[in-house]
Amino acid sequence: MNKERKLIIAGNWKMNKTVTEALALVDDLKNGLANIKEVDIVVCPPFTALSEVAKALRGSNIQLGAQNMSEHDVGAYTGEIAAAMLKELSVRYVILGHSERRQYQRESDELISKKAQAAHTVSLIPIICVGETLAERETGRTEKVLETQVRGSLTGLSKDQMAETIIAYEPVWAIGTGQTATTAQAQEAHAFIRGLLVGLFDEAVARRVRIQYGGSVKPANACELMSQPDVDGALVGGASLEARSFIEIIKNSI
């Protein structure tokens, strides 16, 4: 698949996989994906597995991501993890503002923007999640919600930082539900987000930014979703926990 931007497919393991289970999954992924060069492949294990998974991925074509981080650099923040701590473990990407954190931890756009800025200070690449709920879509507020989240979450980023930032469009109603946005719905939302980036930054930056789709991505729908002009990859949840399905998603996307 010849696209302007290189596809990036990341597996968000959420609160799954012990260290032993994580290493077994990584071993299978390395074997199944060894020859893939057309896609940037990322796995995002729980914090407890990052160190061992980092060692296991050394020399492979799979990169490491974290699922969250603090907006603070250092200090009395019990239970938090700083960007520099992740960087030390060879983490390259960090998911910020996932809908589950927005919902359960009440994370705001302002907080997410602070985290994104903190990530860039140590050259971590943020994957910033945005997306509407079912109620918001049904009442015609999708674009308003996306504009609010995109504007708020990207505040303070320079053009150069934005070009090195990934956005993940995840319609909340499609995460873990088995429902998936149609390809037309996904492309429409991605194109709208890219249009916002033109206004917030400029055309050149907007063309460089990769926008992933997340929400019940499966091997069966990967090819059609990835073929859309503004869909530049996927943030995969449940299907990334099983080697065969994650490998098939990646291979079907090429």
Q: Which helix (H) or strand (E) holds 204?
A: helix 203-208
Q: What is the dihedral of CA 99, 64, 153, 138, to 10 degrees?
A: -30
Distance CA 23, CA 102 (A): 29
Q: State the residue for tokens 């954190």.
A: 101
Residues β-bridged to residue 8: 40, 233
**Which residue, 226, 215, 147, 134, is CA-closest to 180?**
215
Residues with a catalytic annotation lie at 98, 170
Distance CA 143, CA 77 (A): 35
Contact by Cβ (8 Å): 53, 22: yes
**Which residue, 63, 62, 70, 131, is CA-closest to 96?**
70
Residues β-bridged to residue 119: none
Contact by Cβ (8 Å): 194, 167: no
Distance CA 80, CA 247 (A): 32
> By three-state DSSP, how is residue 77 classified?
coil
